[in-house]
Structure 1
Amino acid sequence: MAIGVPAGSHLHVITPGDHFSPSTGSALPSVVHGLAAATPPGAPRSVVAVARGTYPDRYPSADVVEYDPVPQQRADRYRDAAAARLGLPRTGARRPLAAALADQARWPASVVLGHNLPQLVPLVDADRHAAVLYAHNELLRTYSPREAARVLDPAGAVVCVSGYVAERTADRLPPRLRDRVRVVHNGVDTALFRPGDADRVAGEPLRVVFVGRTVPDKGPDVLVDALLRLRRPDVVATVVGTPHFAPGAPLTRYERELRAAARPLGDAVRWLPFRPRDEVAALMRAADVVVVPSRWAEPFALTVLEGMASGAAVVAARTGGIPEAAGDAGVLVPPGSPDALAAALEGLADDRALLATTRERCLRHAQAHDWRAARRTLDVVLGDLGLTSVRPAGMPAA
């Protein structure tokens, strides 16, 4: 049974099976947590629909509506692809989403935000609720413009985490729907990610930290190659992450090759598996530089702002939405270029005044782009589109 859903609340629906839990720290629920935690005083408390049986520890920022999960079948993807070509609904994707909305007739009028869930939009009862697609990635690459129009026509808004994602989303929509595309940049938790108290000691090495999935797209090998080019004892690095969220998982072939390549660096590189978010925050507080050397076009990259909020200088790849996250505060380098990354690190190691001013600039940028700023932008966007107040079921439109 649904627990108290306040009228007019933001009701977030995340991917069935994903976890609204600090135990994983996965990006999408972290965004939902950030937005919910930044609910303005006096506004209704946010609610998140979560499949029953996921992690029992939940973020404290929102109430939870549990629903009985409906597993997707492996063949659903192929059936959905065939249905889309024939102009039919993607029933395989909709089946578990319908379960998430099973109680929507009992929810008070709400703004229902489907995170990375375009197929949720047509399932929302438009007479009672307002549907919003919240796009954290490029979601419509497998959609024809006709299908995208049919599925998203009921959406009151399509919110994208960066201009990069918004541009690619709008390209897949007919002109009449492009006006509903808006950008709400992600924020950062400045209470969790904050500078350390200890001052730098003269002569200490430059402490570099990478946090992320240890997969080629995230580019930890670019960092290792940069360090091999530098071969400087006064530059040390910590690589934090695993391919997924299992710290005890055996090393993948890529990880074994990465560690073998770094062997000549000896103790200058430290390897840590996946860590809970509070431990990640502590590691970032101890860093001089946080690197985000992604090869792929990151839609936004939360790590950029998290590193900045921790008081570190951020060196990141100029790709996807990363430049939007970094603003004019971070140091941007071409993606996949160990030479450029090495040059950026060398500049910061050689010029400690430059390091200090870059850290200060990054910190100011992050503090101006916390989750309160993101939530204010979201509320303005929804207000501009007339979605902040939803008429109760049965009430005629004005």
Structure 2
Amino acid sequence: MERRLIHVITPGDHYSPRTGSAVPTVVHGLSAHAPAGTEPTVLVARGTYPDRYTSADVVEYLPGTEPGRWDRRLDPLRGALGVRRASSRPWAAALHDQDEWPPSVVVLHNAPQAVPLVDTTRHAVVLYAHNELLRTYSPREAALTLGGVTAVVCVSDFLAERTRRRLPPALRDRVAVVRNGVDGTVFRPGRRDASAPLEVTFVGRTIAAKGPDVLLEAVALMDRDDVHVTIVGSSGFSATDPLTPYERRVRAAAEGLRDRVTIRPFLPREAVADQLATTDVVVVPSVWPEPFALTVLEGMAAGAAVVASRIGGIPEAVADGGTLVPPGDPRALADALQVLADSPDRLAAEQDRARRRAAERPWSVVSAELDALLAARLDGQVTA
């Protein structure tokens, strides 16, 4: 069955390999492995990075006016009064010419406020949830806003359960789970020097929720010179942004650990893949309930053992491919790393286990799962 899939990503986000943002990464993975007969298209705001993924047709639109700070603060009140949220304005710009599109499946990424903007007499609409999106929505507003959705796709069971709690009973059966995947052609093992110190890597935004400070506390507790940690990331998706107070604290803690820690600012995805290819262990020490954590599978595909926090959807990403520790517990994290540093055989076994786990979730599998879900929900309603 031919089906035109139109992905609408966050206005202002970049459909580019330069960004580490989760939504473009997922859309690229799905589009690069779209089933035969599917025509993936991505709507991208003009002015975003010009070097774009070639996995889908890219259609530019003129960005709309972003709501101001007070508009955003008043949005929950607007929703409670049954008035359209101001945060829907940028999405309206992306959808302005939808009457000219052939019947399509419009996939709105992280945009519940945009669902009512889609003409459901012509198109099917899918809300793709990468994060918890309905915390400021009452069940009544959720019913009014999401009544037209064909499906609400969540990236983990954890996120799906959180989402169902915010929905009225009539909409809960529209929630489905399609877990994220990994590109094994980009993230793959490289050369590792068995005689070098154990190389441990953190990749992510350098913010408190991601827990790089917990990793540094663990390194301090270990007090050994045969473990080296590299922290890759900035507060956002640019290496040139000014350092935040938290980043300065992380760097000060790293300086106290001398040559046992290296700090590298944000890197594009190709450089991240190079870093992970020579890493022995990837640590995901998040202290907030991440819906999935793409870095888990990326580290695994690169051949690294994974030690991650037991919180949110991270255990679903790890499955049986890594070690889970309590979030915010540097002692437990240090103990897990000590085991891998002390036993080359255990490290090799964990790395092999991680590679097998990553091999289960290539984007081709994820794309096929999404296609099967859409086929079941649409029942042939939207075809080219």
What TM-score bracket applies, with the shorter chain setting the length? over 0.9
- Alignment partner of 1:320: what SS? coil
What corresponds to 1:33 in structure 2?
28
Counterpart AA for 2:171? L
- Alignment partner of 2:73: what SS? helix
Q: CA deviation at 1:388?
A: 5.8
- Say if 1:217 and 1:98 are closer, same or farther in 2 by CA, change over 3 A: same
**1:303-322 to 2 correspondences below 5 Å:** 303-322=295-314
**1:108-123 to 2 correspondences below 5 Å:** 108-123=102-117
Please list the CA deviations of residues 75-115 of structure 1 after superposition, one character each: whole Å capped at 9, or x if unmatched.
Answer: 3213423211212221x122221111111111111110000
Q: Distance in 2 between matches of 1:190 and 1:389?
A: 34
- Say if 1:391 and 1:30 are closer, same or farther in 2 by CA, change over 3 A: closer
Q: Distance in 2 between matches of 1:389 and 1:44?
A: 14
Percent identity (aligned):
57
What corresponds to 1:81 in structure 2?
76
Q: Distance in 1 between matches of 2:279 and 2:149?
A: 42
Q: Normalising to structure 2: TM-score of the pair?
A: 0.97
1:162 equivalent to 2:156? Answer yes
Number of residue-to-residue matches in the alignment: 383
Pick the aligned partner of 2:143 from 149, 157, 170. 149
1:51 equivalent to 2:45? Answer yes
Pick the aligned partner of 1:212 from 189, 204, 207. 204
Q: Distance in 2 between matches of 1:78 and 1:212?
A: 28
Q: Distance in 1 between matches of 2:226 and 2:347?
A: 14
Q: Distance in 2 between matches of 1:383 and 1:167?
A: 23
CA contact (8 A) 2:192 2:279 kept: no
CA contact (8 A) 1:128 1:391 kept: no
Pick the aligned partner of 2:275 from 275, 279, 283. 283
Q: CA deviation at 1:391?
A: 5.6
- Say if 1:162 and 1:222 are closer, same or farther in 2 by CA, change over 3 A: same
Please list the CA deviations of residues 302-330 of structure 1 after superposition, one character each: whole Å capped at 9, or x if unmatched.
Answer: 00000000000010000000000001111
Q: Distance in 1 between matches of 2:56 and 2:104?
A: 14
Pick the aligned partner of 1:135 from 129, 142, 151. 129
- Say if 1:81 and 1:175 are closer, same or farther in 2 by CA, change over 3 A: closer
What corresponds to 1:266 in structure 2?
258
Pick the aligned partner of 2:221 from 193, 217, 229. 229
Any gaps of 5 or more consecutive residues in structure 2?
Answer: none
Q: CA deviation at 1:389?
A: 4.7
1:16 equivalent to 2:8? Answer no
What corresponds to 2:378 in structure 1?
386
- Say if 1:50 and 1:44 are closer, same or farther in 2 by CA, change over 3 A: same
Please list the CA deviations of residues 257-282 of structure 1 after superposition, one character each: whole Å capped at 9, or x if unmatched.
Answer: 22222333211111111111000000
What corresponds to 2:344 in structure 1?
352
Q: CA deviation at 1:73?
A: 2.6
CA contact (8 A) 2:2 2:37 kept: no
- Alignment partner of 1:315: what SS? strand
Q: CA deviation at 1:57?
A: 1.1
1:102 equivalent to 2:99? Answer no
Q: CA deviation at 1:331?
A: 0.5
Q: Distance in 2 between matches of 1:27 and 1:113?
A: 15
Q: Distance in 2 between matches of 1:205 and 1:117?
A: 45
Any gaps of 5 or more consecutive residues in structure 1?
Answer: 1-5, 393-398
CA contact (8 A) 1:35 1:374 kept: yes
CA RMSD of aligned residues (A): 1.5
CA contact (8 A) 1:130 1:387 kept: no
Q: CA deviation at 1:15?
A: 1.1
- Alignment partner of 1:298: what SS? coil
- Alignment partner of 2:324: what SS? strand
What corresponds to 1:300 in structure 2?
292
What corresponds to 1:329 in structure 2?
321
Q: Distance in 2 between matches of 1:388 and 1:185?
A: 24
Counterpart AA for 2:338? E
Q: Which moved more, 1:366-375 or 1:66-75?
A: 66-75
Q: Distance in 2 between matches of 1:112 and 1:155?
A: 10
Pick the aligned partner of 2:177 from 183, 206, 213. 183
Q: Distance in 1 between matches of 2:73 and 2:258?
A: 48
Q: Distance in 2 between matches of 1:101 and 1:27?
A: 22
Please list the CA deviations of residues 122-151 of structure 1 after superposition, one character each: whole Å capped at 9, or x if unmatched.
Answer: 111111110000000110000000100111
- Alignment partner of 2:108: what SS? strand
Q: Distance in 2 between matches of 1:375 and 1:13?
A: 17
Q: Distance in 1 between matches of 2:56 and 2:327?
A: 37
